[in-house]
Amino acid sequence: MTGIERAAVVGTGLIGTSIALALREHGVEVFLTDPDTASLRLACDLGAGRPLDTEAPGRPADIAIVAAPPAVVPAVVRDAQHRGLAHVYTDAASVKDGVIAEAVRRGCDMSTFVPGHPMGGREKHGPSAARADLFLGRSWALCPTAKADPGAVATATALARMCGAEPVTLSAAAHDRAVALVSHAPHVTAAAVAARLLGGDDTALALAGQGVRDVTRVAGGDPALWVEILRNNPGPVAELLEEIADDLQGTADAMRGRAPDQVGAAAQERVRDLLDRGRRGHDRIPGKHGAQRTPAYTVVPVVIPDEPGALGRLFVAVGAAQVNIEDVRIDHSPGLPVGVAQLSVLPEAAAELSRTLAEGGWSVHA
């Protein structure tokens, strides 16, 4: 069966709560459970579902999604199967080969367990960072083993689609090699760049623009989770990091200890080669997924003074204009007297809001 009417989400952090919110938007009845009662309560308050009565879970759900840290996934799946929580089981762990091997070792029923990995995420964790549109336009890897029941695969595929993602079926080994390239090695590299900032003085950091924020964003992820992810994919990650290190070493060799007029043609060529390859690699990232995910909001940037109450006054002004703020981001360089509030609003409200705010003396940069 592929229709999902009842789902159980085990682990109500960022990913579990986001999946639950997406399913709720389709009217799915969602039951939630998490050993961390604060996470569970918050997920329920966000409208992600209601608490699963673990003593009396009722009739099996169509699918149970285990969205817990990779190390506990096999035991949690095994336990859920033992209790007959659902007809089909999937997980969200960022690594697949080791998780599947351990699931098999623990005696999980691999006919109903379809390992999965939604390729949408954030550098934040916990239910407070969850969003129903987290997986919109993203890929969703499915790694069924040879034992998988085709009906179970169809249900896991339906789950990915209901969350707005594109299912991609591949082997666990191929998955782990792929995510080493597009997620795990980039994460370590971002952390290495971000770690350099520890040595920067406040003046240097005040100059930080969007570029360094883009390159280091994922370095804000949870180190405990990432150690677990990297520990489970050592070979492919190490190989890529060595290649990245070679490129960086080559660039350093071309430039070290030279005055600008001593960086000769051959050295410049070496640097250009890396930049050219980088640009071509960047161009290979499928635009379709990223573009689709862009929410249907228009961003209205408003310059705000860095002083107590400024944001509150802005929100009051937006409220007075009868406009709902769908999302907000504050871009702010420490030490600068102003920041930029990026207000996401419905496209049809943007022009009128910009005009009203500008009339009220706000510096709007629509």
Catalog residues that contact ligand NAI under the rule CB under 6 A: 10-16, 34-36, 39, 67-70, 72, 76, 92-94, 117-118, 121-122, 125-126, 225, 229
Tokens of 364: 């709007």
Based on CB atoms, which residue is closest to ligand ENO, 122 or 161?
122
Minimum distance, C-beta of residue 186 to ligand ENO, in the bound complex (Å): 9
Which CA distances in Å does 19 have to 87, 89, 209, 241? 18, 14, 33, 32
Which residues does 194 contact at the CB level (< 8 Å), separation at least 6? Answer: 216, 219
Q: Is 218 one of the binding residues for ligand ENO (CB under 6 A)? A: yes
Beta bridge partners of 319: none
Alpha-carbon span 231 to 238, nearest angstrom: 11
Which residues does 104 contact at the CB level (< 8 Å), separation at least 6? Answer: 110, 145
Which CA distances in Å does 220 have to 129, 190, 193, 226, 312? 13, 9, 12, 11, 27
Minimum distance, C-beta of residue 158 to ligand ENO, in the bound complex (Å): 21
Residue in 24, 41, 122, 293 binding ligand ENO, rule: CB under 6 A: 122
CB-closest chain residue to ligand ENO: 121
Alpha-carbon span 127 to 144, nearest angstrom: 28
Minimum distance, C-beta of residue 70 to ligand NAI, in the bound complex (Å): 5
Alpha-carbon span 21 to 48, nearest angstrom: 5
Minimum distance, C-beta of residue 256 to ligand ENO, in the bound complex (Å): 33
Part of the chain binding ligand ENO (CB under 6 A), chosen from 45-53, 119-127, 168-176, 316-324: 119-127
Choosing among ligand NAI, ligand ENO, none, which partner's interface includes residue 47 (Cβ < 5 to 8 Å by kind)?
none
CB atoms within 10 A of CB 154: 15
Residue in 57, 121, 144, 339 binding ligand ENO, rule: CB under 6 A: 121
Choosing among ligand NAI, ligand ENO, none, which partner's interface includes residue 76 (Cβ < 5 to 8 Å by kind)?
ligand NAI
Please answer whether residues 114 and 153 qualify as being in contact, where contact means their C-beta atoms are separated by less than 8 angstroms: yes
Choosing among ligand NAI, ligand ENO, none, which partner's interface includes residue 183 (Cβ < 5 to 8 Å by kind)?
ligand ENO
Minimum distance, C-beta of residue 335 to ligand ENO, in the bound complex (Å): 27
Based on CB atoms, which residue is closest to ligand NAI, 65 or 353?
65
Choosing among ligand ENO, ligand NAI, none, which partner's interface includes residue 148 (Cβ < 5 to 8 Å by kind)?
none
Minimum distance, C-beta of residue 94 to ligand ENO, in the bound complex (Å): 3
Alpha helices in the chain (DSSP H): 14-25, 37-45, 73-83, 97-105, 150-162, 172-179, 185-196, 202-206, 210-216, 223-231, 234-255, 265-283, 287-293, 310-320, 347-359
CB atoms within 10 A of CB 212: 16
Minimum distance, C-beta of residue 150 to ligand ENO, in the bound complex (Å): 26
Choosing among ligand ENO, ligand NAI, none, which partner's interface includes residue 218 (Cβ < 5 to 8 Å by kind)?
ligand ENO
Tokens of 179: 């995510």
Which residues does 76 contact at the CB level (< 8 Å), separation at least 6? Answer: 10, 11, 66, 68
Tokens of 212: 């360094």
Minimum distance, C-beta of residue 71 to ligand NAI, in the bound complex (Å): 9
Which positions from 135 through 194 interact with ligand ENO, judged by CB under 6 A?
183
Size of the site for ligand ENO (CB under 6 A): 7
Please answer whether residues 105 and 24 qualify as being in contact, where contact means their C-beta atoms are separated by less than 8 angstroms: no
Part of the chain binding ligand ENO (CB under 6 A), chosen from 41-49, 117-125, 256-264, 324-332: 117-125
Choosing among ligand NAI, ligand ENO, none, which partner's interface includes residue 152 (Cβ < 5 to 8 Å by kind)?
none
Give the residues lining the site for ligand ENO (CB under 6 A).
94, 119, 121-123, 183, 218
